Amino acid sequence: MGATLARPDAEAVGFIRKQPFFRALDDQAFAGLLRAAGLRVLDSGEDLFLQDDEPDEFFVLVSGTLELYRTTAEGEEALIRIVDRAEAFSSGFTLSFGPNPFSARAVGSARVITGSRAALLALMRVQGAAAVDFASSMSSHIRQFADHIEELQVQPALQRLTHFLERTGIEPRQVDAGALPYKKVVIARAIGVAPETLSRLLGKLRHACPDARTLARAC
């Protein structure tokens, strides 16, 4: 299991201060909320929280990557989304208002600030601007999930791969197996294809479509 440090470091505090809800808090409220917070370091493959658990903490990803996934009644895992710290708030796991709708697991090492859910909710009741800021972020999260569902249902697999790579900062026409941001099995799950299908798609990107801008038309 990952360790929980006594206090978040300066870099982590600086990051969280710029995020929705926290950026709207006054200095006294922010300091009080962070006073009892800890910095948890997750090992690769370690779960941050599990689906259907009742949370008593809030979470802020400050470095690394998490995969959000659901487990079916048959025990099969369905990947919902892969997020880094830039997407963390819009992916809706900062705070849950009921049982967790999905599980979150580290892809590689990750650092997460954890704090009191009750204290955060109490601040929401009295810090109106912060609550509105958070609600706006959650609205963005709902839109992104709707777009993701549409992408899986409508877009061709090659286009889904292209968008996935672009979101992770990789130029599709320069893709190389050694430069992939995640293991192939993780990427395959993220775009809804079998691993062997992903290998064929990567081959198309490397050899058939040198210009990413013409990818959707030419491939």
User: How far, rounded to the nearest angstrom, does the alpha carbon of residue 213 sit from its chain's CA centroid?
Assistant: 26
- Which residue stretches of the chain have pLDDT < 70? 1-6, 86-97, 135-154, 168-169, 171-179, 207-219
The CA distances from residue 6 to 35, 39, 88, 112, in Å, are: 10, 7, 23, 13
Residue 82: what are its φ and ψ, rounded to 5°?
A: -105, 130
Looking at residue 214, its pLDDT comes to 43
Beta bridge partners of 4: 40
* pLDDT value of residue 46: 93
- Segment 142-147 long-range contacts (CB within 8 Å, at least 24 positions apart): 142/92, 144/87, 144/90, 144/91, 145/80, 145/81, 145/92
| pLDDT > 70 in the chain, percent | 70
Q: Report d(CA 135, CA 74) in Å as an integer.
A: 34
pLDDT in tens, 35-77: 888 999 999 899 998 998 888 888 889 988 888 888 888 887 7
